[in-house]
Amino acid sequence: MNVLITGISGRVGANLAVQLMKKGYDVRGVVYPGDPATAKARKLGAEIYEADMDDAEGVARACDGCDHIVHLAAQMKQGNSTVQRMFAINALGTLNVLEGAVRSSRPVQSVLLAGTDQAYHPFVSDRTTFYEDHPQHPIDIYALTKVMSEQMLYTYGRQYDLPIKVMRFGSVIAADEPLQLFYPAWLDSYVNGEWTTPGRIPWFGADKVEAARAAVAAALKTPNGVCAIMDEAGNSWGLPFTDVRDTVDGIIRVMESKDAVGQAFNLVGPAATPFVKVAQLTAAHTDRPYIEVRMPFLWWFNVSNAKARSILGYEPKYTYEDMLQSALAFRRGEDIGVVPV
């Protein structure tokens, strides 16, 4: 059976390709022209198509004759590109995949979309747990394009009886990435970048921005520090992190399940990860100093994977401590069964 993976050169796509080929699937992948990771994708052994996601004919050629299509390709950060470019890659790209599936020379057995937990508006301070039926209120352009993409899938499912399936990911990390997080600069990029870009409403309230910036400025005095982020009362921040190996396992379960047709699934790790615990573990296993960062608000949310557990038998194995140990092993040169980013 043939599986097409858009975004095959990414952390999820590359690892998915490896596992699918181990299971006997023929894999082809889409990379954008000039992708610096194209050589990595070719080394996987998959058939590679070069096409921009807004190239309808190029995407259709890649889709033609495939049994399953796993649509992972997306622009996650706007960076210096325009809003229009993000829409072209994410929303129009999804439309082109769906049109490619409808036009395929043989019936497609499933079309999977990588959605995001950001569509739930998880920038909250009330310890919310998000389930698949929670209202989606995207707060930025990326999340908006993902909600639009989901609605496109449901529409094509109704109009063409296309067997569509939606997956909502959290923060997926691979290889040594657990060791690259929780630096003061990482927190600074949120507070002084994404959360407070000129003209936008701060996600956690304008009255707290200056206090948040002051806390970040203090943390930046220890640039190599590992940040134990908490609110002023000492309550740890926390959110779900997912090991790429669990994500890949979940995708394959969605792809192979007939019960998944027409459904959305949260594919996230075992539970929300407390930042303070992560900082303690990281400091204990590295030479990075442990620093407490007291922010003027709490950021903690969880995403339930109960539906995926019940219907798909999804059982995420890797806690953040497990991911950290794998990252340390990876840096020692050990094979942890993961294609690096």
Query: Quick one: 95 and 195 in the same domain?
Result: no
Q: Is the pLDDT score of 198 beyond 90?
A: no
Residue 321: what pLDDT? 94
Alpha helices in 23-168 (DSSP H): 38-43, 56-63, 83-87, 93-103, 141-160
Q: pLDDT (tens digit, 9 = 90+) per residue, 81-111? A: 899 999 999 999 999 999 999 999 999 999 9
Domain that holds residue 204: 177-238+273-295
Residue 259 lies in a domain: yes
Are 28 and 46 within 8 A, CB to CB? yes
CA distances, 118 to each of 177, 201, 228, 238, 242 (Å): 20, 17, 23, 15, 14
Residue 333 lies in a domain: no
Structure-token pair, residue 167: 């997956």
Query: Quick one: 16 and 127 in the same domain?
Result: yes
Strand order in the sheet with 171-173: 171-173, 238-243, 272-274
Query: Quick one: 41 and 61 in the same domain?
Result: yes
Residue 201: what pLDDT? 78
Query: Quick one: 282 and 307 in the same domain?
Result: no
Q: pLDDT (tens digit, 9 = 90+) per residue, 222-268? A: 999 999 999 999 999 999 999 999 999 999 999 999 999 999 999 99
The pTM is what? 0.96
Query: Quick one: 51 and 185 in the same domain?
Result: no
Q: What is the CA radius of gyration of the chain?
A: 20
Residue 8 lies in a domain: yes
Query: Quick one: 107 and 248 in the same domain?
Result: yes
Residue 330 lies in a domain: no
Q: How many domains would you assign to the chain?
A: 2
Are 320 and 178 within 8 A, CB to CB? yes
Query: Quick one: 185 and 155 in the same domain?
Result: no
CATH number at residue 162: 3.40.50.720
Residue 84 lies in a domain: yes
Q: In terms of residues, how long is the chain?
A: 341
Query: Quick one: 104 and 207 in the same domain?
Result: no
CA distances, 150 to each of 82, 111, 212, 216 (Å): 22, 11, 34, 36
Query: Quick one: 28 and 161 in the same domain?
Result: yes
Q: pLDDT (tens digit, 9 = 90+) per residue, 129-182? A: 999 999 999 988 999 999 999 999 999 999 999 999 999 999 999 999 999 999
The identity of residue 126, as a single letter, is: D
Query: Quick one: 52 and 169 in the same domain?
Result: yes
How confident is residue 207, by pLDDT bands cut at 50, 70 and 90? confident
In degrees, rounded to 5, the angle at the alpha carbon of residue 5 between the alpha carbons of residues 44 and 242 is: 85
